[in-house]
Structure 1
Amino acid sequence: MNNIAEENENQKMNTETLEKQETPAPEEKQDASSPEITGEETMEELLDIYESSLKKFEEGQVVTGTVISVGRDSVLVDVGYKSEGQISIQEFIDEEGNVNVNVNDEFEVMIEVWDEEEETVLLSHEKAKKVKVWDAIKDIYDDDGTIEGVITSRVKGGFSVDIGLLAFLPGSQADLRPIRNMDEMVNQTYTFKILKYNKKRNNIVLSRRVLLEAVRDKLRSTTLEAIEDGKVMEGIVKNITEYGVFVDLGGVDGLLHITDISWGRVKHPSELFSIGDKINVKILSFDLEKERVSLGMKQLTPDPWTTAVDKYPVDSKITGKVVSLTDYGAFIELEEGVEGLIHVSEMSWTRKIRHPSQMVTVGEIIEAVVLDLKPDNRRISLGIKQTVDNPWEVISQKYPVGTIIEGKIKNITEFGLFIGIDDDIDGLVHISDISWTKRIKHPSEVYKKSDTIQAVVLDIDKANERFSLGIKQTQADPWESVSQRYEVGKEISGVITNLTDFGVFVELEEGIEGLVHVSEISKENVKSPKEHYQIGETITAKVMNINSDERRIGLSIKRLEEDDDDKYLEDFAKNMKPATSSFGEILRTNIQEQIEANKVQEAQKQDSEDADKSEE
C-alpha cells in the first residue's frame, strides 16, 4: 500500500510538471526541440515526453552544475538531471582543513559514473578542471603558444612543474647554460613551451630553453649591430673560469680575460665576480665572422703606472701591503696595479735573510724606501732596511779596535765562533784566535752554544760587514816570556806528547812544547824514538835554543849525558896527578872539540826544519 501511495504521488508530481510545461510563460518561447503538447496525450505519452525533456549524459562528459547542498561527506550538485549528482567533500577541503564550497556555487564537473537505471550520478570537480587543462594544452601546443607554471620540486633528470597538471621539465631545457644550483629554481614561476604531450600516458614535457634561445637570437642581431671597438657596454656575468669571465652582452658572449680585469693582481676571477653580476666592460677587439669579443674592465680607468714617477720618487718612503712572497723577495702593492719588489738582500743590514717570510707576512702593511723606479718596465725596487740607520756605520765608533766585549756564542763552525754583539751584528772569533798555545781541531772542543765569553775587537770591516774578535788576545802571549822561563842550557822535565820518526815532542807547560830531535836523543845512532820512549812518559832534557817568533824550543837529551861525562872527567882529573901532554895529543883534542861543535850546529838546524814539518 505504501508503494502504491508513493507511485500515485510521483504521478501527481509528474502531472504538475507536465502542466507547467504545457503553459509556458508569455515572455518565453517554447524550445523548438521540445515536443508539442496538444492536451490530448495519454499519461504514458506524457511520461515519455517528460523523460525525453531531461538531459542525456555520458561518462567523462564535462557539464556545468550548481551546488544545492553541502553535506558532511558529499556535495549535491544539480546538473539538470532528475537526480542530483554527488561530489566527494574531499575535493573542496584545503590544506588547512577548510571546506571551500557554498550553496549556489556554479562550476564545471565531470560525469564519473552515470547509472540511469539506479538514477545514480557521481561527479568530480577536480577531474573537470584537468580535462579543461588538457584541452588548453592541446590548443597551446597546436597554436605554438606558451604556458605559465611553477616548478614544484626536483626530480630525476630535471624538475616537476605545476601547470594545472604536473609536467616534466628536463634539466637541459631549464636554461641556456648548465645550472649549478638547481634548488634555486624550485618554487619559481616561469613561462614554458610545450615540447610534447600524451593524454593517455598523462605525460607533458616542457622547455624553457627554447624561449630563452629565441630571445637571445633576437638580442644577438641587435647586439652585433651595436658592437664596435672601444665601446663601453653593460653585460651579465655568464660563466667564471680560472682564466677569465664570460660576459653576456645581449645574445653575444664576450671574454673578459683575467689580465684585463684589473690593473692590480687577481688570483681568481671568482674573488671579484659572481654569476649573474651586471658589469660594465669595454670592447677591446671584435671578430664579426667568428663572433669573438675581447673585453676589458681595467681599461675603464687610467693606467696607474703613468703617474708612478710623480707618486713614488727614488728615496721616498712608502707604505704598502705584502701581496706575495717568493724565494728571492716580497711583492708590495702600493696601489691597485702598482707593485714593488723588496729583494731579500734589502731586508736587513745585519741578518742573512734566506726567505722573506723571516721578515714579512702576506697581508701585512709595511713601510719601505723606493730604491729604483722603471715605469716603462713597470718595476719598482724597494728596501726595508733603508728605513733605519745602518748599524755598520756606527759600530766602529761604539766598539773601537782593542775594546773588550762580552757576548753569547750564537753559532759554532769548524772555522770559529760567532758571538752576538748587538743590532743583530755577530762577531767572528777565528779558530786561530781562540788560544795562544792549545792546538784546537774544532771550537766545540772548548766551547758550546750560548756560552758567555769575553773577546777583544781585532778589526771592523764595514765594507764587507765583518767584525773580527779574539779570545786569546784577552791574555798575554806566553811565548813572549818563554825565553825568561826556559833559558838556553837549562835542564827541564816534561811529558812526551808525540813520537815521530824525526824526534820526540815534550810538553813543558800547557800549550808549550819542545822538540828533542832524533840526533839529540843519544850519542848512539837512534833509528826511531818509538823504540825507546812512550807517549805520557816524563823525560829530562837540556834547552838548546828558543825561537819565540816561530814558537819553537829545541831540546837535547844527549847533551845532558855529555855534561855528565864532562863532569865525571873533571872530577877524575882533579884526583889524578898532572901529566905532561904532547903537542900531538893537544892537537887531537882541539880537532875533536871542533867536530863536536859542528855536530851541535847541524842538529839544531835539523831540529828547526823537523819542527816546521810537524806543525804543518
Structure 2
Amino acid sequence: SKSTRRDSTMLPRFLVDLRPVRNLDGLIGKTHKFKVIKFNKKRGNIVLSRRVLLEKERAELKEQTMDKLKEGQIVEGIVKNLTEYGAFIDLGGIDGLLHITDMSWGRVTHPSEIFQVGDHVRVKVLKFNTETERVSLGLKQMMEDPWTHAQEKYPPGTVVRGKVVSLKDYGAFIEIEQGIEGLIHISEMSWTRRVKHPSKMLAIGDVVEAVVLDIDPRQNRISLGIKQLEPNPFASLKEKYPPGTVVKGVVRNIADFGIFVEIEEGIDGLVHVSDLSWTQRVKHPSELYQKGDEVEAVVLNIEFDGEKPKVSLGIKQMVPDPWDRIPYDYPVGKIVDCKVLKVLDFGAFVEIEKGVEGLIHVSEFSEERVEDPKQFVKPGQTLKAEIISVDSAERKIGLSFRGAVRAEEVADAQGFSAGAPTATLGDVMREKLAALTPKKSE
C-alpha cells in the first residue's frame, strides 16, 4: 500500500492584517500574498502571515510619505479611526490626527457627525514633527475663516436669523452661519420679563431672529439681543408716569430700606422706608406691609441707570403732611390727652393722635425725682400732658406730665373745675409718688 500525507496550513487571526479583524468572512475567496513564518515537516504544519508583508509595505510607504510631507501641504488620506477628540487619517504609512476643533469653523460635537471610517479626505498639514513622527491635520483650514469679513457683514443693528445651538445659565448661543455664533445674554431676552434661565424662553434647535448689539472679530464674539426687536417700554415711562401720578401695584419684595411695588409687568418702583409714613417710626417695612399686599402710591421721580429705570414712589405722600398743621393744632402750653406707647429708662413715648407721637422725658414726669419710669406709668394708660416743645424741622414733640399737673392745680385754685369732684392727674401723680416714697418710722 502507498501512504499519502496532507500538510495543514494555518493563518492566525492576529496575522491577517495590521489591525485585528473581527469578521474573516469578508476574506473568503480572495487572493492575497502570504509569507511562511513557520514550517513543521514532521507534523506537516505551516503557519502563514499576511501582516508581515503589510508591515514591510507600510514601512516603505511611510518612508516615502515622510520624505515629501511638509507643513502647509494639502494631502489625501483615509479615515482610519474615530475618537471623541478627533479622527486619525492614514496618509500612507503614517497616521495624522485631525483634531475635532480643526474639522470645521462651526460647532462639532463628535467627529462622527462629519466622518465615517474609510472616508477619503483632503486635509492640510498643520504641524509635522519628524522626530516624534506626529502629524497634526486640519480640514477647516482648507476654507476661509468666516470671521475674516464678519465685521463688515454683521455691523451693530443688523437683524440676523440663526439656530439655538447651546444654552447656558447666562444666555443662549445662536449659530448665525457655520463658524459664527453669537451670544444672547439673559438680560437681552426681554424688556420686562424676569428670565431666570434661557430655557424659559428658548430651546436648542429653535430658529430665532436677533439684533447685533456688538461685534469683536479679534475675540470671535458677537453680542445679540432679542428684546431690541420690540419697542422699549421704558422709553415712554416718564411721559406715562409724570411726578404726582397715583399708581396701584402689588408689593413684590421687601428689603431693609423699603418695599418694591410692581406697577406694570417687569417694572418695579421703590418706596423707601422714609416715604412709608409721615409720622410713624418704621424700623423695618415688614412692620407695615407684606408681599402680595396691594398698595397705592405716588410717583416721586423716574431716573434711568442704563436701560433700566429707577422709579421712586411714596406712600405717605398720598395724604397731607400732618406736620403742616401740628404746630398750629398743638401749640406750646396746650394740655392734651395722650396714650402711653412705650416706657424706657429715659422717659415714655406717647401718642397724641393716630400716627403722631411725642416724648415725655423722665425729668418731666414729676416735681419729685423719679428713679424708675416703668413704676410710674404703664403702656396703654391714657393721661394728660402739656405740650412743652414742637420742633417741625426734626418732627419732634416734647410733653410734660408735671406741666399738666401744675396747670390743673392752677385751674382748681381759680375755681375753673365744676361738677362732682373727680380724681385729677395731680391726685394720680401724688398717689404714685406716695407709693414710691418709703414711709418714715414713727
Fold shared, TM-score > 0.5 on shorter chain: yes
Query: What CA distance in whole angstroms lies between the structure 2 residues aligned with 1:545 and 1:289?
Result: 98
Mapping of residues 567-586 of structure 1, within 5 Å: 567-571=411-415
**Larger mean Cα displacement after TM superposition, 205-214 or 240-249:** 205-214
Displacement after TM superposition at 1:461 (Å): 0.7
1:382 and 2:224 aligned: yes
Q: Secondary structure at the match of 1:392?
A: coil
Whether the 8 Å CA contact 1:351–1:425 is kept in 2: the answer is no
Whether the 8 Å CA contact 1:429–1:471 is kept in 2: the answer is yes
**TM-score (norm. length: structure 2):** 0.80
1:169 and 2:20 aligned: no
1:416 and 2:264 aligned: no
Q: Secondary structure at the match of 1:454?
A: strand
- Write the letter of the residue equivalent to 2:76: E
* Partner of residue 284, structure 1: 126
Larger-gyration structure (1/2): 1
1:448-480: CA deviation from partner (whole Å, max 9, x where unpaired): 322322222111112352111122222333333
Displacement after TM superposition at 1:297 (Å): 0.8
Between the two proteins, what is the percent identity of the paired residues? 51
Displacement after TM superposition at 1:298 (Å): 1.0
- Write the letter of the residue equivalent to 1:417: I
- Write the letter of the residue equivalent to 2:12: L
Q: By percentage of residues, which structure has more helix? A: 1
1:236 and 2:83 aligned: no
- Write the letter of the residue equivalent to 1:253: D
Displacement after TM superposition at 1:346 (Å): 4.0
Gaps of 5+ in 2: 417-442
Q: Secondary structure at the match of 1:233?
A: strand
1:467 and 2:314 aligned: no
1:266 and 2:99 aligned: no
Whether the 8 Å CA contact 1:438–1:510 is kept in 2: the answer is no
1:355-375: CA deviation from partner (whole Å, max 9, x where unpaired): 655654444333222233333
Query: What CA distance in whole angstroms lies between the structure 1 residues aligned with 2:43 and 2:317?
Result: 108
Q: Secondary structure at the match of 1:562?
A: helix
Q: Secondary structure at the match of 1:245?
A: strand
Displacement after TM superposition at 1:178 (Å): 4.8
Query: What CA distance in whole angstroms lies between the structure 2 residues aligned with 1:352 and 1:428?
Result: 17
1:254-309: CA deviation from partner (whole Å, max 9, x where unpaired): 22233321122334434332322222212334455654433221122222122213
Displacement after TM superposition at 1:252 (Å): 2.3
Q: 1:208 and 1:427, CA in 2 relative to 1: closer, same or farther beyond 3 A?
A: farther
1:189-242: CA deviation from partner (whole Å, max 9, x where unpaired): 254735446687796655442343244335435544554444433211112334
Mapping of residues 117-156 of structure 1, within 5 Å: 134=7, 137=9
Mapping of residues 184-583 of structure 1, within 5 Å: 184-186=23-25, 188-189=27-28, 191=32, 193=34, 195-196=37-38, 205-224=47-66, 227-287=69-129, 291-326=133-168, 328-350=170-192, 356=198, 360-463=202-305, 465-483=309-327, 485-571=329-415
- Write the letter of the residue equivalent to 1:491: I
Q: Secondary structure at the match of 1:440?
A: coil
Query: What CA distance in whole angstroms lies between the structure 2 residues aligned with 1:195 and 1:437?
Result: 107
Q: 1:488 and 1:228, CA in 2 relative to 1: closer, same or farther beyond 3 A?
A: closer
Query: What CA distance in whole angstroms lies between the structure 2 residues aligned with 1:215 and 1:569?
Result: 135
Displacement after TM superposition at 1:430 (Å): 1.9
Q: Secondary structure at the match of 1:504?
A: strand
Displacement after TM superposition at 1:568 (Å): 4.0
Looking at both structures, which has the greater relative contact order when contacts are Cα pairs under 8 Å and sequence separation is at least 6?
2
**TM-score (norm. length: structure 1):** 0.59
Query: What CA distance in whole angstroms lies between the structure 2 residues aligned with 1:325 and 1:292?
Result: 36
| Alignment coverage as a number of residue pairs | 411
Query: What CA distance in whole angstroms lies between the structure 2 residues aligned with 1:446 and 1:202?
Result: 105
1:55-80: CA deviation from partner (whole Å, max 9, x where unpaired): xx34x54xxxxxxxxxxxxxxxxxxx
